[in-house]
DNA sequence: ATTCCCGGTATTTTT
DNA sequence: TACCGGGAAT
């Protein structure tokens, strides 16, 4: 990468940095906006520093100000600062904010990035020390799994009893701990039918042969290089004079070792994190790293950021009360100067559907400001769930009432099958040795190349010691396979030859106008062929686009749309190669849609975000805290779940509503559950218990008059489940929640006029659909309109059955994309 | 080689 | 309930 080339001349940079030190410190206006502890975190530049930054305490502000300060005081040049984040988003944000602080004066920071991105660069520079070539490919989890599967099959292991997934997670765990195959301790190595470590070794061998590295390797290899080659390590130690780490509580052991190695000399390391927000333990993150920071770096300064600038006092009280139940924590208490605001609201429902319905109505009220509050934009509202299956109830409900929503963190763009397929074509064009990519698309679209043909290709390739693509060529030229299969394969091989030639010509800059316009499909265009056009040609000539065009499934048009988007994305890059490198590391896709929408996401996905209004549904024992977490990790698991609750609560700025349902439709089965134990941990003084609407005139429960929220005292919990219990709790009718509920009923109960609801949705809602018309729906595909009532249509979908949906969610079938 | 049907399975997922 | 993977049928 160009970044690396720029900075590779180590000594030249070092010479320059000396002059930087001589630079006079300029005034530092960014310091004035900081509170005392933030300022301490910024000004304590030397030696180890741990900044314990609670949720919403201005962590990023402190971090960026610290970097600005390093630059401003002339302590370091931009290239001498190593700043590590976990996500590309965080890296991007930091870059922007630093830019804003120091003005455009200083060129970008080359070593600000994610653990993975930074390590790719380091590894590419020393690939040979890890047995790789510097142009190694980065495998995604899909490729990884396929490789494991092949190994398991080759070893004659029963896939049913020993699924590749299990091996993958095992190896992942080991890599997170920075264990090479030889280092895996015996008891661990014996896992997976006693073959764990040997399979790990085989897998690593295969990766080397493929000149590939998986995500774990990026860290593992570099740590091993640092350990085995002190000269290399020394170079980087000198190079990075100051180290900053964001989200330190999420580091795994490999990352910890990496940091410790780099910081060893000068110990100028500043880690920022929040042990209370450690929620990725199951993914290898070690809360221990942050907990034992002072031991690891004796003399470390620990700075606590506890003043919260995000939430109301009631919300903070709720968060604090819950997290205080955790034993294993460094201890922090958030406080605010903000007023109490509205209390945290708690409500129980009979079942999950009612919960979704109620939340839908609450959101509409929030948006319209009919609850006596300033209207909240849909963008400022989020529903945070523990597990993604909970999202469906909300999607269904919002689809029916026409509430615009967006699901965040679904399958990511680059993980979609069609995108992976398309990229596999590009991968083979760019690196013909990429056997995994070749395998993925040999028979996509169908070319009559089944198992047998593919095994044949494999065999020939192995016998001749060549790549799969070359193996295929030998097979074709030698007249192997059935006539039909041979024809399909011959076309594919010829296609790759052509595309590769074009790609090479592009790289060499030897493409003349019109020179390569040899295909019938490609319309004559002016100017030289670009890599974007080449990509389009590859997808067209290979028959891939055609495959989806002829596909009748409801998702086919969307897939074509995605492919189109992919090709468009290529324009941002110089060539196919650069694009592939980017995609391997930056698997995110920011979709900035214009219309305001309510966000639905998991609690994990919400970390780092904030919203004026947050709904936390599904607080039931077993679901949240998740039974599985508790079974698998005991108290540790429970504490991590509790931290998840803390993360959820602290996302809210103004309005927070926690809810639970007595019954839930899970995997097609009805399950009942008790309210979450975390509900008992909420502080009653800061919580308002609402009485759920429902049958029997509205109420079947009461708020508890004192103490916590024992399950028995909560509305919606049907212990005993009879009317007498409900009657006994008659004081519910006097509760503020009940009064409010009554008041609200009149405003937007079931008889609410349509207009009121429609304020939320598109003005075109009542569109001109006719009975019998063919329509297309984003989620349900094609269908026929059976009935029209106002803005609601009853549609018989080809695939999804009969549904009632809002008119604005469908388009005429012939206007549908593709 | 492809399709179709059955049974087993089912958190959270920054790169 | 929904999806995936494997085996059998075409």
DSSP A510-577: -PPTTTT---SSSPP-SS---HHHHHHHHHHHTTHHHHHHS--STTHHHHHHHHHHHHHHGGGSSSHH
Q: Model confidence at A314, in pLDDT bands (50, 70, 90)? A: very high
Q: Residue A470: exposed, middle, or buried by beta-carbon count in 10 A (0-12, 13-18, 19+)? A: middle
Which nucleotide has the shortest C1'-to-CA distance from A408?
A: B13
Which nucleotide has the shortest C1'-to-CA distance from A389?
A: B11
Which nucleotide has the shortest C1'-to-CA distance from A411?
A: B13
Is the pLDDT at A143 greater than 60, yes or no? yes
- As a whole number of angstroms, the longest Cα–Cα distance in chain A is 88
DSSP-assigned states of every residue in A658-689 = EEEEEEEEETTEEEE-PBPHHHHTS-GGGEEE
In strand B, the nucleotides that come within 7 Å of a protein beta carbon are 1-3, 10-15
**Residues contacting strand C at CB < 7 A?**
A 159, 667-669
Cβ-contact A548, A559 below 8 angstroms: yes
Q: What is the DSSP letter of A46?
A: S
pLDDT for A801: 62
Give mean pLDDT, residues A281-306: 94
Give mean pLDDT, residues A61-80: 92
Q: Which two tokens stand for residue A11?
A: 């000594």
Higher-pLDDT residue of A603, A694: A603
pLDDT for A693: 66
Cβ-contact A795, A786 below 8 angstroms: yes
pLDDT for A603: 97
pLDDT for A574: 85
- Report the alpha-carbon distance of residue A225 to residue A220 in Å, rounded: 9
Q: Residue A564: exposed, middle, or buried by beta-carbon count in 10 A (0-12, 13-18, 19+)? A: middle
Q: Residue A490: exposed, middle, or buried by beta-carbon count in 10 A (0-12, 13-18, 19+)? A: middle
Q: Model confidence at A552, in pLDDT bands (50, 70, 90)? A: confident
Give mean pLDDT, residues A210-239: 95
Is the pLDDT at A528 greater than 70, yes or no? no
Is the pLDDT at A817 greater than 50, yes or no? no
Which nucleotide has the shortest C1'-to-CA distance from A116?
A: B15
Lowest mean pLDDT among A82-96, A453-467, A651-665, A732-746: A732-746
As a rounded value in angstroms, the CA-to-C1' distance for A559 and C7 is 29
Any residues with CB less than 8 A from the CB of A660 and at least 6 apart, and which?
Answer: A348, A349, A355, A617, A618, A619, A620, A673, A675, A676, A679, A716
Give mean pLDDT, residues A265-280: 95
Q: Which two tokens stand for residue A341?
A: 């605001």
pLDDT for A106: 60
Is the pLDDT at A8 greater than 70, yes or no? no
Closest residue to B10 (CA to C1') is A667
Closest residue to C5 (CA to C1') is A160
Cβ-contact A310, A653 below 8 angstroms: yes
Nearest CA to A802 among A794, A813, A810? A794
Percent of chain A at pLDDT exceeding 70: 80
Is the pLDDT at A403 greater than 70, yes or no? yes
Three-state SS at A260:
helix
Closest residue to C3 (CA to C1') is A667
Is the pLDDT at A387 greater than 90, yes or no? yes
As a rounded value in angstroms, the CA-to-C1' distance for A154 and C7 is 20
Is the pLDDT at A1 greater than 50, yes or no? no
Is the pLDDT at A304 greater than 50, yes or no? yes
Distances from the Cα of A783 to the Cαs of A270, A317, A804, in angstroms?
Answer: 58, 50, 12
Identify each DSSP E strand in A56-129 by its residue range: 81-85, 112-114
Highest mean pLDDT among A62-66, A563-567, A714-718: A62-66
Q: Model confidence at A506, in pLDDT bands (50, 70, 90)? A: confident
Q: Model confidence at A698, in pLDDT bands (50, 70, 90)? A: very low
Give mean pLDDT, residues A691-705: 45
Any residues with CB less than 8 A from the CB of A381 and at least 6 apart, and which?
Answer: A363, A366, A367, A598, A599, A611, A612, A613, A614, A615
As a rounded value in angstroms, the CA-to-C1' distance for A442 and C10 is 23
Q: Model confidence at A808, in pLDDT bands (50, 70, 90)? A: low
Q: Which two tokens stand for residue A342?
A: 């509205």
Higher-pLDDT residue of A529, A325: A325
pLDDT for A157: 81
Cβ-contact A53, A273 below 8 angstroms: yes
In strand C, the nucleotides that come within 7 Å of a protein beta carbon are 1-2, 6
pLDDT for A162: 85
pLDDT for A768: 66
Three-state SS at A780:
coil
Give mean pLDDT, residues A141-150: 88
Which nucleotide has the shortest C1'-to-CA distance from A608?
A: B14
Which nucleotide has the shortest C1'-to-CA distance from A149?
A: C5
Identify each DSSP E strand in A204-327 by its residue range: 212-213, 242-245, 269-273, 301-305
Q: What is the DSSP letter of A39?
A: H
As a rounded value in angstroms, the CA-to-C1' distance for A652 and B2 is 52
- Report the alpha-carbon distance of residue A716 to residue A718 in Å, rounded: 6
Three-state SS at A443:
coil
Q: Over chain A, what is the mean pLDDT?
A: 82
Is the pLDDT at A781 greater than 70, yes or no? no
Which nucleotide has the shortest C1'-to-CA distance from A669?
A: C1
Q: What is the DSSP letter of A139?
A: P
Is the pLDDT at A530 greater than 90, yes or no? no
As a rounded value in angstroms, the CA-to-C1' distance for A113 and B8 is 42
As a rounded value in angstroms, the CA-to-C1' distance for A710 and B5 is 49
Lowest mean pLDDT among A140-149, A159-168, A287-296, A722-731: A722-731
Give mean pLDDT, residues A356-377: 93
Per-residue b/e over A600-630, b at no fewer than 16 CB within 10 Å?
bbbbbbbbbebbbbbbbbbbbbbbbbbeebb
As a rounded value in angstroms, the CA-to-C1' distance for A801 and C1 is 14
As a rounded value in angstroms, the CA-to-C1' distance for A50 and B11 is 31
Is the pLDDT at A590 greater than 80, yes or no? no
3-state helix/strand/coil string of A145-202: HHHHHHHHHHCCCCCCCCCHHHHHHHHHHHHHCCCCHHHCCHHHHCCCCCCHHHHHHH
Q: Tell me the catalytic residues of A.
A: 59-60, 246-247, 277, 651
Give mean pLDDT, residues A730-743: 34
Cβ-contact A349, A661 below 8 angstroms: yes
Predicted TM-score of the model (pTM):
0.82
- Side-chain half-sphere exposure of A390, counting CA atoms within 13 A: 27
Parallel, antiparallel, or unpaired: how do β-strands A687-690 and A611-616 relate? unpaired
Is the pLDDT at A586 greater than 50, yes or no? yes
Cβ-contact A53, A42 below 8 angstroms: no
- Report the alpha-carbon distance of residue A111 to residue A114 in Å, rounded: 9
Q: Model confidence at A728, in pLDDT bands (50, 70, 90)? A: very low
pLDDT for A588: 64
As a rounded value in angstroms, the CA-to-C1' distance for A323 and B11 is 21
Write out the H or E segment, with its range, that includes residue A437.
Answer: helix A435-441
């Amino acid at each position: 990468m160009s970044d690396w080339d720029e900075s590779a001349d180590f000594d030249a940079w070092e010479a320059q940095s000396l002059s930087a030190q001589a630079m006079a410190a300029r005034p530092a206006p960014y310091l004035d906006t900081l509170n005392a502890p933030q300022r301490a975190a910024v000004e304590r530049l030397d030696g180890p520093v741990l900044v314990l930054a609670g949720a919403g305490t201005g962590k990023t502000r402190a971090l960026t100000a610290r970097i600005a300060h390093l630059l401003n005081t002339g302590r370091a040049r931009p290239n001498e600062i190593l700043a590590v984040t976990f996500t590309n988003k965080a890296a991007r944000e930091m870059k922007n904010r630093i830019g804003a602080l120091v003005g455009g004066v200083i060129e970008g920071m080359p070593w600000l990035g994610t653990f993975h991105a930074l390590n790719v660069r380091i590894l590419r520079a020393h690939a040979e020390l890890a047995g790789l070539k510097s142009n190694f490919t980065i495998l995604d989890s899909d490729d990884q799994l396929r490789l494991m599967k092949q190994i398991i099959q080759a070893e004659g292991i029963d896939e049913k009893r020993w699924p590749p997934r299990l091996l993958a997670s095992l190896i992942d765990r080991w890599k997170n701990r920075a264990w090479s195959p030889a280092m895996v301790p015996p008891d661990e190595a014996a896992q997976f039918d006693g073959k764990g470590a040997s399979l790990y070794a085989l897998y690593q061998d295969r990766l080397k042969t493929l000149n590939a590295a998986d995500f774990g390797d990026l860290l593992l290899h570099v740590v091993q290089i640092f350990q085995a080659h002190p000269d290399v390590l020394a170079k980087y130690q000198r190079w990075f004079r100051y180290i900053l780490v964001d989200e330190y509580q999420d580091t795994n052991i490999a990352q910890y070792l990496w940091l410790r190695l780099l910081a060893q000399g000068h110990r100028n390391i500043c880690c920022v994190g929040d042990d209370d927000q450690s929620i990725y333990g199951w993914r290898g993150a070690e809360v221990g790293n942050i907990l034992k920071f002072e031991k690891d770096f004796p003399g470390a300064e620990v700075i606590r950021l506890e003043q919260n600038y995000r939430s109301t006092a009631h919300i903070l009280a709720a968060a604090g009360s819950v997290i205080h139940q955790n034993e294993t924590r460094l201890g922090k208490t958030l406080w605010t100067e903000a007023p109490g605001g509205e209390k945290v609201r708690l409500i129980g429902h009979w079942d999950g559907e009612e919960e979704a319905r109620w939340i839908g109505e609450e959101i509409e009220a929030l948006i319209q400001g009919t609850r006596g509050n300033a209207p909240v934009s849909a963008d400022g509202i989020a529903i945070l769930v523990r597990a993604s299956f909970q999202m469906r109830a909300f999607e269904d409900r919002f689809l029916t009432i026409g509430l615009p929503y967006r699901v965040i963190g679904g399958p990511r763009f680059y993980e979609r099958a069609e995108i992976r397929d398309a990229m596999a074509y590009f991968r083979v064009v760019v690196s013909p040795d990429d056997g995994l990519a070749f395998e993925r698309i040999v028979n996509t679209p169908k070319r009559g190349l089944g198992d047998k043909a593919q095994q044949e290709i494999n065999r020939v390739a192995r016998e001749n010691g060549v790549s799969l693509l070359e193996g295929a060529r030998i097979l074709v030229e030698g007249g192997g396979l059935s006539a039909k299969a041979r024809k399909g394969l011959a076309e594919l091989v010829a296609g790759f030859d052509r595309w590769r030639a074009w790609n090479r010509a592009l790289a060499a800059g030897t493409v003349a106008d019109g020179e390569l316009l040899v295909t019938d499909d490609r319309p004559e265009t002016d100017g030289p062929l670009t890599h974007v056009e080449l990509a389009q040609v590859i997808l067209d000539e290979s028959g891939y686009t055609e495959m989806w065009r002829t596909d009748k499934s409801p998702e086919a048009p969307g897939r074509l749309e995605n492919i189109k988007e992919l090709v468009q994305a290529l324009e941002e890059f110089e060539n196919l190669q650069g694009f592939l490198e980017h995609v391997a590391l930056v698997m995110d896709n920011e979709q900035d849609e214009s219309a305001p929408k309510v966000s639905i996401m998991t609690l994990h996905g919400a970390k780092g975000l904030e919203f004026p209004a947050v709904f936390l549904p599904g607080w039931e024992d077993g679901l949240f805290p998740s039974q599985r977490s508790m079974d698998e990790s005991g108290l540790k698991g429970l504490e991590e779940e509790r931290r998840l609750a803390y993360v959820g609560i602290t996302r809210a700025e103004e309005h927070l509503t926690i809810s639970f349902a007595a019954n839930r439709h899970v995997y097609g089965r009805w399950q009942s559950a008790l309210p979450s134990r975390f509900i008992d941990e909420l502080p009653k003084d800061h919580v308002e218990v609402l009485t759920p609407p429902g049958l029997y005139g509205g109420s079947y429960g009461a708020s508890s008059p004192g103490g916590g929220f024992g399950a028995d005292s909560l509305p919606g919990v049907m212990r005993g489940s009879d009317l007498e219990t409900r009657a006994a709790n008659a004081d519910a009718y006097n509760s503020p929640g009940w009064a409010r509920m009554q008041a609200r009923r009149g405003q937007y109960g079931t008889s609410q006029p349509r207009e009121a609801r429609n304020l939320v949705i598109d003005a075109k809602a009542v569109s001109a659909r006719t009975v019998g018309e063919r329509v297309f729906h984003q989620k349900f595909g094609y269908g026929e309109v059976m009935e029209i009532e106002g803005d609601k249509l009853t549609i018989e979908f080809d695939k999804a059955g009969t549904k009632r949906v809002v008119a604005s969610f469908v388009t005429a079938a012939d206007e549908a994309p593709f």
